[in-house]
Amino acid sequence: MKFTVDKQEKYCTVTLHNEKLDSTIAPALKSELVTFHAEGVKNVILDLSEVKYTDSSGLSALLVGNRIFSEEGGLFVITSPTEHTLKLIKISQLESVLTIAPSLEEAKDAVFMNEIENDLKSGMNE
């Protein structure tokens, strides 16, 4: 699996450099996401702009990322999905489950809004 990582204070951006997100790539992606979570990363933006094909294994990896980061109030954002990937997400009725942003800037905005909401909630509970 080819990818680059850009770690910021509030989030980590992972850009996949593969044309396919399928059974050959999905296990490695899941493993990386679990590792980021274990390292204390709260929010991940997954840039799929270079991924032209996704299958059910790829969707499974996206769901794993969504689950592990949202469990503790973090956010897993998929950004720049191609038409094929977006179509598969819609056919699988996952557009209401996954957080999808059309651009990297909008994904970053979603992360910051989530952080603000979490801060407000924790302030109310104190």
State the residue range of the domain holding 60.
3-119
Report yes or no on 68 lying in a domain.
yes
47 belongs to a structural domain: yes
Please indicate, yes or no, if residue 125 is contained in any of the structural domains.
no
The predicted structure's pLDDT at residue 22: 95
User: What is the distance of C-alpha 48 from the center of its chain?
Assistant: 9
Q: How many CB atoms lie within 10 A of CB 28?
A: 14
Does residue 124 fall inside a structural domain? no
| 8 A C-beta contact, residue 95 and residue 61 | no
Confidence (pTM): 0.93
CATH of the domain at 55: 3.30.750.24
State the total domains in the chain.
1
Tokens at 53, concatenated: 């094909």
Q: What is the per-residue pLDDT for 6?
A: 96
Q: Which helix (H) or strand (E) holds 92?
A: none
Contact 63, 94 (CB under 8 A): yes
SS3 call for 25:
coil
pLDDT in tens, the chain (126 residues): 899 999 999 999 999 999 999 999 999 999 999 999 999 999 999 999 999 999 999 999 999 999 999 998 999 999 999 999 999 999 999 999 999 999 999 999 999 999 999 888 887 766
